[in-house]
Amino acid sequence: MSGRPRARALGVTFDGEPGPNNGITDVPGVLVGFRTLIRGQGPLRVGEGPVRTGITAILPRPHAEVLTPVFAGFFRMNGNGELTGAHMIEEVGQLALPITLTNTHACGITRDATIEWARRALPGALDATWALPVAAETYDGFLNDINGGHVTASETLAAIEGARPGLVEEGSVGGGTGMISFEFKAGTGSASRRVALGDSAYTVGVLVQANFGRRRNLVVRGHPLGRRLPTAPGEGPWGPPPSAAPAGDAPEKSSIVGVVATDAPLLPHQLGRLARRMPLGVAWTGGLAYHTSGDLFLAFSTANPAALTARDGALARAEFVLDTHLNPLFDATVQATEEAILNALVAAEPMTGRDGHFVPALPHDAVRRLFA
């Protein structure tokens, strides 16, 4: 692990009780892998670099079981982004295979490579199941040689192969490597919550790839920090803002992709409800789904594997949480989404990318002061 700080280390207080890793991997069986591609500096030469990108792989189940579907739901808060596999999720309420997150010009590659991985790693298995994997993206062209083809099939396979349980790296790692939020360096963040329902306890885990938001809108646990921070070079003690607006006069190609996992047994339509609440956590940090953003949210449950692989007869049985007990899961989803975004911001260090483009880090002191 990177040893990078997380929001709680700066004194930020949150609602709810996190799991041991405070990450999506607290959901048993969920694995996360990264390939972080950072190479070169100086002027952009397409195909050479500088490279500031990567791939995040989320496995809903361990490698050997990843063809066993999970019930899933999807929500489009704002559609200017890509997340493949969504038609299938809305139709059959399931997904299988690893999920990949990367940059906007490469999620096709990671999608197809995920099929290739399954074919190689689990011979014969694809014959009897879907090959419509989820691959999503946010835009890193301000820092990265996004047209250079640096995200490849083999890097995708490596990200998937390397997926593991435990602490989740955050900040400028994997698909989040070149990402920016609130005009600060951001990227990958994760968090989790424990939820007691009846006699059982479940976990809700979130992973975000955060690449959205205007600095003026940044809110940290109710504190409007963004409007107190400088927005022009030399204005304050926390370093300059990004060296240029992320995309000049061009569309601001910002986005957030959020994935919520749980071991609570939920049916597809219930998972859609979880996904639909993730933007409320985004709103708590100041994200308002601006026009150019692709704000796409996915939810899955690892429960009911037997129901999802049943082949004997025509029927199966699925367990599900009664609707009257869903609110604690909604709370957990919103809370973990908020914390995952702040973790992405806190963990990320300043980065200089292509053409000398610079993005500062969120000033930790400013955050600490709020909670002193």
Residues 202 to 261 in contact with a second copy, rule: CB under 8 A: 219, 222-224, 247-251
Three-state DSSP class for residue 6? coil
CB 87 within 8 A of CB 287: no
Cα gap 31→39, rounded to integer Å: 26
Answer whether the bond into residue 251 is a cis peptide, omega within 30°: no
Q: Residues 6 or more apart from 169 whose CB is under 8 A from it? A: 1, 2, 4, 34, 188, 347
**Residue number with CB closer to a second copy (7 or 135):** 135
User: Hey, what's the torsion of the CAs at 345, 349, 353, 358, to 10 degrees?
Assistant: 80
State which residue, 126 or 167, has the beta carbon closest to a second copy: 126
Tell me which residues in 165-204 interact with a second copy (CB under 8 A): 197-200
Catalytic residue among 140, 181, 295, 301: 295
Q: Taking contact as CB under 8 A, which single stretch among the options 58-66, 89-97, 228-236, 351-359 is the one that binds a second copy?
A: 89-97
Choose, by CB under 8 A, the member of 3, 237, 324, 372 that binds a second copy.
324
In the bound state with a second copy, the residue whose beta carbon lies nearer, of 92 and 158, is 92
**Using CB under 8 A, which of 9, 41, 48, 119 touches a second copy?**
119
CB of 361 to a second copy, least distance (A): 23
CB of 284 to a second copy, least distance (A): 6
Query: Does residue 295 carry a catalytic annotation?
Result: yes
293 has catalytic annotation: yes
The count of residues interacting with a second copy (CB under 8 A) is: 90
Q: Please report whether residue 93 would count as binding a second copy according to CB under 8 A.
A: yes
Compute the distance between CA of residue 81 and CA of residue 343 in angstroms, rounded to an integer.
22
Sites for a second copy among residues 125-164 (CB under 8 A): 127-132, 135, 147
Contacts 24+ apart (CB under 8 A), 285-288: 285/182, 285/213, 285/218, 285/219, 285/220, 285/338, 285/341, 285/342, 286/182, 286/213, 286/214, 286/217, 286/218, 286/219, 286/224, 286/226, 287/212, 287/213, 287/217, 287/256, 287/341, 288/217
Q: How many Cα neighbours within 13 Å face the side chain of 114?
A: 32
192 catalytic, yes or no? no
Which of 50, 85, 174, 213 binds a second copy (CB under 8 A)? It is 85
Q: Which of 320, 364, 366, 371 binds a second copy (CB under 8 A)?
A: 320
CB of 228 to a second copy, least distance (A): 12
Min CB(330)–a second copy separation in Å: 6
Place of tokens 């489009």: 76
Catalytic residue among 181, 190, 255, 301: 255
Candidate list 21, 110, 254, 343; residue touching a second copy; CB under 8 A: 110
Site mask, a second copy, residues 254-293, x = CB under 8 A? -----------x-xxx---x--xx-xx--xx---xxxx--
End-to-end alpha-carbon separation of the chain, Å? 27
How many other C-beta atoms are found inside a 10 Å radius of the C-beta of residue 223?
A: 15
For a second copy, give the closer residue by CB, 164 or 214: 214
Q: Nearest Cα to 35, choosing from 169, 173, 145? A: 173
Interface with a second copy, residue 325, by CB under 8 A? yes
Name residue 366's amino acid. Answer: A
Ordered strands of the 31-39 beta sheet: 31-39, 51-59, 99-103, 135-138
Please list every residue from 16 through 75 that binds a second copy, using CB under 8 A: none
Pairing of strands 99-103, 51-59: antiparallel
Q: Which is nearer to a second copy, 17 or 331 (CB)?
A: 331
**Min CB(168)–a second copy separation in Å:** 25
Backbone torsions φ then ψ of 257, nearest 5 degrees: -110, 130
User: Judged by CB, which is closer to a second copy: 194, or 223?
Assistant: 223
Contact status: 316 vs a second copy (CB under 8 A): yes
Residue 355 binding a second copy, by CB under 8 A:
no
In terms of CB distance, is 81 or 176 closer to a second copy? 81
SS3 132: coil
Which residues are part of the catalytic machinery?
255, 293, 295
